[in-house]
Amino acid sequence: MNRAGSTWFWSLLGACIAAALGTAINFATDLKTNFLAWGLVVAFTLATGLISGISQVLVRRDGDSPSTTGTTNVYNVRHSQVNAWLVFLILGVSGSLLAAIFVGVHFAGSFQTAGTPIPAVIAPSPATSTTTSTTSTVPQPATNEDIAQFVTAYYRLMPDTRAGWPLIGPNLQRRGQSDYEAHWGRISAVDLHSASATSATTVRVRITLHYRDGRPSPTETHELTVVPHDGRLCIDADTLIRAK
């Protein structure tokens, strides 16, 4: 190998080794995003190659002088070249290492801090309490006037058993619908003389029953018990007080 080729070979070898070590350091320390660390590695790599090449050229010039002829001088020249190359190679690699570790870590930490998104603090929305007002319909108790009017309306329907049967309560319905229809089937008409409430659940009435067979029509006084059942009023008891 000639002198020029040897000089470039050693220079490029030193630069490549420095670049490879600097790159490995950057990747190992996860500093791939730090441009300053990369720049310093490149700068130290170029400087290593240039200084190594210049030093070998200078040493070769010293070796070409008349006082350095012979086998001993050639050995000394090559030994000096190797020593100089090793010194500058070590300096270049050390500089790359320092740049990657100290400068790179500093700026990588800065970039990482600046690039880390700050989690947004979302203020909790005030809980909206929805008050649902449910209006429960409570049936009002029937008044004395209500039950008196109910009994009056009932006798105006009689002797229509189809209309009257739903208006009597469970107690009277236990006797059976056939007995109910048989009783009112003998009557052709009903005269209501009076209907007055004697309490919150009782109504006293005076009625005249007209029989179909022509028998005398008596006037009777009945006391009826009126109670609510399934959301409506009904006559649940019928007591004969007087008959004339």
Task: Write down the pLDDT at residue 160.
Answer: 96
Report the pLDDT averaged over residues 192-216. 94
Task: Write down the pLDDT at residue 168.
Answer: 96
Q: Is the pLDDT reported for residue 192 higher than 90?
A: yes
pLDDT band at 112 (very low <50, low <70, confident <90, very high): very low
- Beta-ladder partners of 207: 192, 220
Domain segments of the chain as ranges: 3-115, 144-243
Share of the chain above pLDDT 70, in %: 45
- Both tokens of 236, joined, read 């649940």
How far is 44 from 32, CA to CA, in rounded Å?
17
Q: Is the pLDDT reported for residue 159 higher than 80?
A: yes
How does pLDDT run across 61-107, given as a tens digit for each residue? 655 555 444 455 544 545 555 555 565 566 666 665 665 555 554 44
Q: Is 50 exposed, middle or buried (0-12, 13-18, 19+ CB in 10 A)?
A: middle
How far is 208 from 219, CA to CA, in rounded Å?
4
How far is 46 from 62, CA to CA, in rounded Å?
24
Examine residue 124 and say whether the peptide bond preceding it is cis (omega within 30 degrees of 0). Answer: no
Task: Write down the pLDDT at residue 118.
Answer: 44
Higher pLDDT, 119 or 206: 206
Contact call for residues 234 and 169 (beta carbons, < 8 A) = yes
Q: Cβ–Cβ contacts within 10 Å for residue 10, how many?
A: 21
- Out of 8-17, 139-148, 188-197, pick the least confident: 8-17
86 Cβ contact list (under 8 Å, min separation 6): none
CATH number of 144-243: 3.10.450.50
Place of tokens 């052709």: 188
| C-alpha 78: how far from chain center | 77
Q: What share of the chain is helix, strand, coil (3-state, %, to 5)?
A: 55, 20, 25
Q: Is the pLDDT reported for residue 236 higher than 90?
A: yes
Average pLDDT along the chain = 73
How does pLDDT run across 48-61, given as a tens digit for each residue? 667 666 766 665 56
Q: Is the pLDDT reported for residue 165 higher than 50?
A: yes
Contact call for residues 159 and 187 (beta carbons, < 8 A) = yes
Q: Cβ–Cβ contacts within 10 Å for residue 98, how many?
A: 14
How far is 12 from 8, CA to CA, in rounded Å?
6
Report the pLDDT averaged over residues 19-25. 68
Task: Write down the pLDDT at residue 33.
Answer: 47
Q: Is the pLDDT reported for residue 194 higher than 80?
A: yes
Read off φ and ψ for residue 137, nearest 5 degrees. -85, 105
pLDDT band at 221 (very low <50, low <70, confident <90, very high): very high
How does pLDDT run across 120-147, given as a tens digit for each residue? 445 555 555 555 555 556 667 889 999 9
Task: Write down the pLDDT at residue 133.
Answer: 53
Task: Write down the pLDDT at residue 173.
Answer: 96
